[in-house]
Amino acid sequence: MVDPILQVRDLHTHFFADEGVVRAVDGTSFDLYPGRTLGIVGESGCGKSVTARSILRIVERPGRIVSGQILLRRGDGSQIDLAAQSPDSAEMRTIRGGEIGLVFQEPMSSLSAFHTVGNQIIEAVRLHSKLSKKAARDRAIELLAMVGIPRPAQRVDAYSFELSGGLRQRVMIALALAAEPGILIADEPTTALDVTTQAQILDLIRRLQQERQLAVILITHDMGVIAEMADDVVVMYLGKEVEKGPVDTIFHAPRHPYTRSLLRSIPSVLARPRDRLATIAGSIPHPFARPKGCPFHPRCPDFMPGTCDRDFPKEVAIADRHSTACHLYAS
């Protein structure tokens, strides 16, 4: 396997509020490879989106990265630690959009309602290139056509509120790819879309990845999307990764109780009518009342008193590229 294009090492991103400190990301590590999709999965509040925002250095105050490394391998072979850069630096402004593109969760709130979608794409194109306004407009039309928007020459002058949810999400993907980045981060790209449109958006991301050898980080709570799209998987819970490995291993040989619980909650076509879906007991703890030891132990069916509620488990290698943080596998 080629060298990773992005390496996240022991990343900690905290929010400093009057009530206390929220450890939104609390020691996450993973690698992203060119041409592959890394799926980050977990319930809402597990730190998935904050991880993505940390990579791009767009964490809103009072949040900030307190430790860790985010190592980006650039086109010339050099490496830069994004965590050590100022969020407002010229370097980061070049990297955001230029080398790493982001598709936000909700396009209606991410796109400006006061500017045409074409003008927004033109601005992104000209920010990272020396194209004239006319050439940038032609490039915007080309990008709209690339993401499958009908009549792109007319839609380039449309406003976001004139487009459907699926078309707005396609515009967001066109914006993210305007400067031909090597990495695309898609944060819940199919939220609030109907299932047919969801499938179209996922097919579009897969096609663009194959055409451009994009490295994709796909953030979702939907294990079905992970099964369809991901090559590698990171399962997060309360800011930490509890299991990671190849997608086939995660689905066919999951080790962490949280991963197994997520998989059991997926609806199955083999289920009998009126059978209740499996659920995960309890809920994610309040961020100011994190449990001691393994954060999942209050909800864990394999909870071991005196062990799980005392120390956080160390990461244990199960097999090649497959690891988990669980006391069940401690040596």
Beta bridge partners of 216: 37, 184
Tally the C-alpha atoms within 13 A of residue 100's C-alpha that lie toward its C-beta: 26
Q: What are the pLDDT digits (tens) for 28-57?
A: 999 999 999 999 999 888 889 999 999 999
Global confidence as pTM: 0.91
The per-residue pLDDT for 40 is 95
The type of residue at 237 is Y
Better-scored residue on pLDDT, 113 or 7: 7
Mean pLDDT of the chain: 89
**Cα Rg of the chain, angstroms:** 21
Q: Give the model's pLDDT for residue 75.
A: 80
**Using alpha carbons only, what angle is made at residue 72 by residues 66 and 75, rounded to the nearest 5 degrees?**
160
In sequence order, what are the residues at sequence separation of 6 or more whose Cβ sits closer than 8 angstroms to the Cβ of residue 320? none
pLDDT of residue 275: 77
Distance CA 211, CA 191 (A): 25
Residue given tokens 């039309």 in the structure block = 141
Q: How many CA atoms lie within 13 A of 330 on its CB side?
A: 12
For 53, 288, 325, the CA distances from 103, given in Å and listed in that order, are 11, 30, 30
- pLDDT by residue (tens digit) across 302-313? 999 989 999 889
